[in-house]
Amino acid sequence: MYQKVYVEITNICNMNCSFCHGHSRAARRMTGDEFSLVLDRLEGRTKYVYYHLMGEPLTHPALPDFIREANARGFKSVVTTNGTLLERRGRELIDAGVYKVSISLHSFEGGGEAALGRYMQGVIDFAEAASARGIIVVLRLWNRGHDGGRNDVLYDMLRSRIGGEWVENTRGIRIHDKLHLERGDRFEWPDMEAEDHGSEVFCYGLRDHFGILCDGSVVPCCLDSDGALTLGNIFTEELDDILSSPRATAMVEGFEKRCATEELCRRCGYARRFI
């Protein structure tokens, strides 16, 4: 069993954040039939479907339907969002029965104080409503060292508007049982133009997770934004064949020895933290 599988239901985003690598693929949304097929293939392999790779999942009109179908088939749905559409579509997530929502607060980089205030109030309203319904909500500030002081502003907004325990822990702050604030450093996305860090690399890709792009391409992790390490296509091939292919097997065996078998993995800043 994999701890999670990343399923990109769309690669379309409504923002252009500086920290995001972006992609060069054609804009696409996964259809209902394609999503159902993905769930067919994932049965018995994981309990957690993460609606995340590239794209903003809340731009997909069928997201609530996907969550309901996943629930009915025994999966738990985890959505990662930039939070800009929560004011308009957050209630749909709650009513659909989403298991967890991670909100990347570091996505909101533009606009003045008034726009920031409206954005944060929409996030806070959703976080309080969702957590009251038993949904796990994680507020993310994964841009330490690149926030220009804005993280302090966001923290003060949250602290003044949300009551709770506000207990520090290793990952950030536990606001209360279902609501958390995570802090982290900005990382370097894997890219063939990025610095070659050498072959000494460890990664959990293909060990506890893998990803599926919106066109069905199976990739080893959620950071392969362009499908450079595509192992096969879940729409047309059996998942067993894809995950046991020579290329996938070589990657797993390489990571066990802390050795990158793929050029892209040598250029992944995120993987450096596991060495």
* pTM for this model (two decimals): 0.93
Among 21-35, 107-121, 132-146, 249-263, which stretch is predicted with the lowest mean pLDDT? 107-121
Contact 204, 163 (CB under 8 A): no
Among 76-90, 112-126, 207-221, which stretch is predicted with the lowest mean pLDDT? 112-126
**Average pLDDT in the 4-32 region?**
92
Neighbouring-strand partners of residue 183: 141
Q: Residue holding tokens 């629930």? A: 71
Q: Tens digits of per-residue pLDDT, 165-186?
A: 999 998 899 999 999 999 887 7
End-to-end CA distance of the chain: 24
The sheet carrying 179-185 orders its strands as 167-168, 172-176, 179-185, 136-144, 100-104, 76-81, 48-51, 4-7, 209-212, 217-219, 232-233
Structure confidence at residue 149 (pLDDT): 64
Structure confidence at residue 114 (pLDDT): 80
Does residue 111 carry a pLDDT above 90? Answer: no
Structure confidence at residue 144 (pLDDT): 74
Q: Residue holding tokens 């993280």? A: 151
**Average pLDDT in the 262-267 region?**
91
